[in-house]
Amino acid sequence: MKLLVIGCGQCGGRIADEFALLNRRAHGQRGIDIITNTLAVNTDVADLSGLSFIRPDYQHRILIGGRKTGGHGVGKINELGSEIAKEDGDKIIECIRTTRHLHETDAFLLIASAAGGTGSGAIPILTQYIKEHYGEKPLYNLIVLPFKHEEKIEERTIYNTATCLKSAYLVADAIFLVDNQRYVRKDFSIQSNLAKINALVVEPFYNLLCAGEEKKPKYIGSRILDAGDIIQTLSGWSVIGYGKSQIPLFKFPFGASNFREKASESQKGVQVMNEAINELSLKCNPSDTKRALYLLSAPAEEMNMSLINEIGNCLKRIATEAIIRSGDYPREKRSIDITVILSELINVGKVMEYFTQAILYISSYKKRWEGLEHEHEGIEEAFRDIPSLL
């Protein structure tokens, strides 16, 4: 599957930068391309300058709202980010048109943080705008949810997140939800944490995108998971997970102990599937999903019907209502990798919490604003008879 990736705002731009690196890796290691183009859209010049792998020209790093912000961002006001995206949306469409292999693009992926200003406000607007021009291609969002400390300290964070999620849900074909807090490593610095989080967010897409683009016959699976399978799976709220386990160099000898090897293989597959579920990008109940897929990647000699059946049954036991698609990809050398997507989630508790908290925030804000108006009236009354120097 080939994506055209657009990062909106600081967070979205940095994750898009990781996708650009992922494509370099696929091209260098496997001789295939999985990203047709990578763009970063922002109202802040410094954020655009801090990227490493997206091309540095104005057709790939796109500054919007220069007249209104002076190139210094929107200060977490996502209504302003939305307004600017409406005014400068043509810039993004023009840059998409210049994509050399646009006709090879299977889907668009727009990325943003829900809590910020530019990304939070722009992602639903640009999603709708691109859909009007390229309605024949699926359009997905990857939306990053805020850290816990952001939710507690900055009330605006909750409001931005709720308005972004609602707006994106109304226009995107599917939304990957990513909870920042699940990736935090307490012993890392802030910069190291953010860089590591961005890499972990992108990593599950590697084999998933490569499998359907593979060119070498020996690496093509017996059941190919390609763009069609992914498109048929993705709908509404979605999460992605990834599990990996190394294969030991020395295995049980043939003969009397061979049954132990078979049992170990099946158990290893189930463990990796459980790890992928535990590492989903957002904690959710798998039984709430209506569509799911998994991709098994391992050495060809390690993949057999017993292993595949065990993995499939493991997912079916926890996602009982889901239509499940699957595939194999004989690419990895000394590991078993499993990528899982759960989609069309009907009940996402975290999202509902944001909506509930945002309603309380709006009600509280109105009361405070009314109180401030009365205070201002009192101040004006007190200094009404004092001369002004203006």
If asked whether residues 184 and 251 sit together in one domain, one would say no
Q: Is the separation of the CB atoms in 249 and 182 below 8 Å?
A: no
**pLDDT above 50 for 127:** yes
Question: What are the phi and psi torsion angles at 362 (to 5°)?
Answer: -60, -45
If asked whether residues 185 and 268 sit together in one domain, one would say no
If asked whether residues 133 and 254 sit together in one domain, one would say no
Q: Is the separation of the CB atoms in 321 and 287 below 8 Å?
A: yes
**pLDDT above 90 for 40:** yes
If asked whether residues 264 and 198 sit together in one domain, one would say no
Give the residue from 178, 202, 226 where a domain finishes.
Answer: 202
Of residues 102 and 247, the one with the higher pLDDT is 102
If asked whether residues 100 and 12 sit together in one domain, one would say yes
- Integer angstrom CA distances of residue 383 from 4, 49, 375, 378: 60, 49, 13, 9
**pLDDT above 50 for 255:** no
pLDDT confidence of 308, banded at 50, 70, 90?
confident
How many independent structural domains does the chain possess? 2
Q: Is the separation of the CB atoms in 284 and 345 below 8 Å?
A: yes
Tell me, yes or no, whether 340 lies in a domain.
yes
pLDDT of residue 254: 44
Nearest CA to 350 out of 282, 299, 255, 272 is that of: 282
Of residues 351 and 382, the one with the higher pLDDT is 351
If asked whether residues 169 and 285 sit together in one domain, one would say no
If asked whether residues 194 and 248 sit together in one domain, one would say no
pLDDT of residue 267: 82
**pLDDT above 50 for 206:** yes
Give the residue from 143, 176, 202 where a domain finishes.
Answer: 202
Tell me, yes or no, whether 94 lies in a domain.
yes
Tell me, yes or no, whether 172 lies in a domain.
yes
Q: Each residue of 55-90: pLDDT tens digit?
A: 999 999 999 998 889 888 898 999 999 999 999 999
Tell me, yes or no, whether 229 lies in a domain.
no
Q: Each residue of 96-112: pLDDT tens digit?
A: 999 999 999 999 999 99
**pLDDT above 70 for 220:** yes
If asked whether residues 198 and 277 sit together in one domain, one would say no
Range of the domain at 147: 3-202
Tell me, yes or no, whether 91 lies in a domain.
yes
If asked whether residues 191 and 73 sit together in one domain, one would say yes
If asked whether residues 252 and 328 sit together in one domain, one would say yes
Q: Is the separation of the CB atoms in 280 and 342 below 8 Å?
A: yes
Tell me, yes or no, whether 146 lies in a domain.
yes
If asked whether residues 75 and 192 sit together in one domain, one would say yes
**pLDDT above 80 for 264:** no
pLDDT of residue 256: 41
If asked whether residues 245 and 148 sit together in one domain, one would say no
pLDDT (average), residues 23-47: 96
CA dihedral 181, 182, 183, 184 (to 10 degrees): 50
Tell me, yes or no, whether 20 lies in a domain.
yes
pLDDT of residue 165: 96
What span, in angstroms and rounded, lies between the C-alpha atoms of 96 and 212? 23
pLDDT (average), residues 28-40: 97
Question: What are the phi and psi torsion angles at 135 (to 5°)?
Answer: -65, -15
Task: Count other C-beta atoms under 10 Å from residue 273's C-beta.
Answer: 24
Tell me, yes or no, whether 364 lies in a domain.
no
Give the CATH number of the domain where residue 296 resides. 3.30.1330.20
Give the CATH number of the domain where residue 139 resides. 3.40.50.1440
SS3 57: coil
Question: What are the phi and psi torsion angles at 164 (to 5°)?
Answer: -65, -45
Sheet holding 323-329, edge to edge: 61-63, 35-42, 3-8, 107-113, 139-145, 174-179, 236-246, 335-345, 289-297, 323-329
Nearest CA to 73 out of 96, 39, 41 is that of: 41
What span, in angstroms and rounded, lies between the C-alpha atoms of 5 and 108? 6
Torsion sign (Cα): 246, 234, 343, 240? positive
Give the residue from 202, 228, 256 where a domain finishes.
Answer: 202
